Amino acid sequence: MSILPNSRLTAWQILRRWSPQGTYAEDMVEREASRHNLSGPNRALLNAIVLAVLRHRTLLDLWIDHFRSSGSLEDDAREWLRTGLVQLHIMGMPEHAAVNETVALAGRARGLVNAVLRRSLRERDELQRLRRAAPPHVRHSMPEFLVREWSRRFTPDEVEALCEWGNAPAPICVRINPLAKRAPDFSRARRLDGPVEGWFEVDDLPRAELAAGQCYAQDPSTGIAPRMLRAKPGHTVLDACAAPGGKAGILAADMENAGTIIATDSSAKRLERLRDNMARMSVSIVEPHLQDWEKHPEPAWFRERFQDGFDRILLDVPCSNTGVLRRRVDARWRLQPDFFTIITRVQHHLLLRMLALLKPGGRLVYSTCSIEPVENIQLVRAVIKEAPGWQLLEDKLLLPHRDHTDGAYAALIERTA
């Protein structure tokens, strides 16, 4: 058997085990690719198939039901059909590879998979007609309640563009690390004219440059919050939800590696990744601390060293991820109608707690990768109204379909009393 079917088989195995509340798809892909020692191209094929199926899951099931209007369908067979249809009609892979290799691996479902995939080739126009006629949440495999909410705030064309953005494979974006001893050669890369400077889009992951700490892989939208904070050399800064450290690296660069950044996270595993990233990026002013601000609002290290408060605080809160659906493919399947009620309680509590840790005249940036007002400007205004002595200096919202980058929100708040 050639290597290529192994990528398809591994993709099918991952998709059969995947669940909305389980391990993230990207982590499953990385683990299985390493376990099978897949080459770069085959790792890429595995990743592309898994993410494409998850991005288009509802649409693929619409197509499957078109071919299977009656009778039950085993989960194994359905996943093979999703895997084959996505290769043919979403990814545009060569017919002989997508059909022959998928059918060869389908086991007991081989006959059914062969019949459906070959019929789908004869009925391409019908599948596209079904796609166009489907409601937006089916056409784009998005949560129905979320598309309904977007439709209240955006025009139909904007909703369509936003959904299309969420299903597009994300490009590889990297930020130059000014603290590195040697700059990478990105003369052939495309410099991005996004919301912040210093980013490039590359065709392939620059593994050598990343390993050397010359750059860091992150979307330009992640830069608006730390840059809005305007941290300076000598400041004491709290990065309250810091792992894996992308924003802490930007803060350290702005501070010219002079001062103190306390980087906290509630996950020991994620905090270990932050330590590794900071070491690789030549960041020397970050102190990692395992800290859950919801459960333990005033740790001993704060009482001992920072009782007077911080000059700057970056609060990148847990959120719905609706601005980064193209990168976090699991996020749409984790969202439920009551999610925003639950998450805004957490966000509200964290923002109130962090504001109390600022020095007089200190500044805090509250940020999310959500485009929902209830998590962003509405929440910020509600907290400031509840806690006098603070003022909103500025805020910024990035919308994917408008700004051509991942969605993000940042609000700069100053302590006035």
CATH number of residue 284's parent domain:
3.40.50.150
Q: Is residue 176 part of a domain?
A: no
User: CA 242, CA 303: separation in Å to the nearest integer?
Assistant: 20
Same domain, 336 and 242: yes
Q: Which of 113, 134, 155 lies at the terminal end of a domain, its last residue?
A: 134
Same domain, 242 and 152: no
User: CA 203, CA 171: separation in Å to the nearest integer?
Assistant: 8
Q: What is the pLDDT of residues 331-354, one digit of tens each?
A: 999 999 999 999 999 999 999 999
* Residue that has been written with the tokens 């020397």 in this structure: 284
User: CA 90, CA 127: separation in Å to the nearest integer?
Assistant: 11
Q: Is residue 27 part of a domain?
A: yes
Q: Is residue 183 part of a domain?
A: no
Asked if 275 contacts 244 with a C-beta cutoff of 8 angstroms, the reply is no
Same domain, 34 and 141: no
pLDDT the model gives residue 298? 82
**262 Rama sector, left if φ>0, alpha if ψ -120 to 50, beta otherwise:** beta
Model confidence at 1: pLDDT above 50 = no
How far separated are the first and last CA of the chain, in Å rounded?
71
Same domain, 119 and 261: no
In 3D, which of 100, 96, 97, 95 has the Cα closest to residue 124? 95
User: CA 179, CA 174: separation in Å to the nearest integer?
Assistant: 15
Q: Is residue 187 part of a domain?
A: no
DSSP 394-412: EEEEE-HHHHSS--EEEEE
Read off the pLDDT of each residue in 181-201 and give the average, rounded to a whole number.
90
Asked if 299 contacts 287 with a C-beta cutoff of 8 angstroms, the reply is no
Any residues with CB less than 8 A from the CB of 152 and at least 6 apart, and which?
A: none
Same domain, 30 and 107: yes
Distances (CA, A) of 360 to 77, 166, 349, 380, 382: 62, 41, 20, 19, 21
In sequence order, the β-bridge partners of residue 200 are 174, 191
In 3D, which of 323, 20, 332 has the Cα closest to residue 165? 323
Same domain, 251 and 400: yes
Domain count within the chain: 3
Q: Is residue 196 part of a domain?
A: no
Model confidence at 4: pLDDT above 90 = no
Q: Is residue 59 part of a domain?
A: yes
Q: What is the pLDDT of residues 282-311, one digit of tens each?
A: 999 999 999 999 888 888 888 889 999 999
Q: Where are the alpha helices (DSSP H) in 36-71?
A: 40-55, 57-67
User: CA 236, CA 301: separation in Å to the nearest integer?
Assistant: 14
Q: Is residue 209 part of a domain?
A: no
Q: Is residue 61 part of a domain?
A: yes
Q: Which of 134, 158, 179 lies at the terminal end of a domain, its last residue?
A: 134
Amino acid at 230: R
Same domain, 237 and 367: yes
Same domain, 73 and 157: no
Q: What is the pLDDT of residues 358-412, one digit of tens each?
A: 999 999 999 999 999 999 999 999 999 998 899 999 999 999 999 999 999 999 9
Same domain, 103 and 151: no
User: CA 268, CA 297: separation in Å to the nearest integer?
Assistant: 18
Q: Which residues span the domain enclosing 160?
A: 135-168
User: CA 398, CA 371: separation in Å to the nearest integer?
Assistant: 8
Asked if 140 contacts 164 with a C-beta cutoff of 8 angstroms, the reply is yes
Same domain, 376 and 258: yes
Same domain, 126 and 266: no
Least confident of 12-26, 290-304, 307-321: 290-304
Q: Which of 119, 134, 149 lies at the terminal end of a domain, its last residue?
A: 134
Q: What is the CATH number of the domain that holds 18?
A: 1.10.940.10
369 catalytic? Reply is: yes
Same domain, 23 and 149: no
Share of the chain above pLDDT 70, in %: 98
Model confidence at 2: pLDDT above 50 = no
